[in-house]
Amino acid sequence: MAGASAMSSYRRGLRDGLPFLLMVFPFGMLWGVVATEAGLTLTETVSFSVVVIAGAAQFTALQLMSENAPTAVVLASALAVNLRMAMYSASLTPHLGPARLWQRMLISYFLVDQTYAGTILEFEKRPHLTLAEKTAYFFGLATPVCPPWYLTTLLGAWLGAAIPTELGLDFAVPIAFLAMIAPMLRTPAHKVAAVTATVLALGFAWLPYNFGLIFGGVGGMMAGARAELYFEAKRAR
């Protein structure tokens, strides 16, 4: 019976993850095209997606590498972009922390914006799910997100310059992130963090090597944390 409920959760996650293909396909294609045009080989382009599996960090690193930025700056910028993964992990730990070691290793690898956004909303909507059901849902959601990312990267790298720039594949990037972030801005602290990060990133956009993005990310997290403490203290009073 437990296995049946876990399989049901997996199928629900798989179903809920299918709409993300509308974002993964053009985003992966775009990465494959841009990376090969920047001089990466087919193997390097696909390996980048398999090892890093973080589109925003990949584009950030590639841009800095194209500008001959110091290696330390490339790594620091990519890590700064991916700092949100640490918050994602902390948020999911109460739900998936007791899972088996090999499951936690796979969860940490497949933890991306789409899998986090989908799972945390599901867990909040269905608080009585068992650990097996939660784990199965996560992997179900990851199935139409992560493997297609590798395949579309490969396809984009193969096609390369054959895809005209007028096709506008890059439209999917900002739209996808807005679609994921908007439903998650539910508390005042979330909104403070988002507004602060946006203002700082735009205000420091003139800095070289995407340092403005680093300032925005760090500043947004600090502002959100302070706002959370403020509003908790206010509620306590």
Highest mean pLDDT among 51-55, 77-81, 112-116, 216-220: 112-116
**Residue 171 confidence class, pLDDT cut points 50, 70, 90:** low
Highest mean pLDDT among 26-40, 113-127, 194-208: 113-127
Residue with tokens 């049901």: 8
Closest CA to 173 of 56, 66, 39, 45: 56
Model pTM score: 0.74
Highest mean pLDDT among 29-38, 83-92, 129-138, 157-166: 129-138
Residues 6+ apart with CB under 8 A from 42: 36, 154, 157, 158
Residue with tokens 């330390």: 72
pLDDT of residue 3: 66
Instruction: Tell me the average pLDDT across 212-223.
Output: 81
Q: Which of 26-40, 123-137, 182-196, 214-228 has the lowest mean pLDDT?
A: 182-196
Instruction: Tell me the average pLDDT across 69-85.
Output: 82
pLDDT of residue 37: 78
Average pLDDT, the chain: 83
More confident site: 186 or 202:
202
pLDDT of residue 1: 46
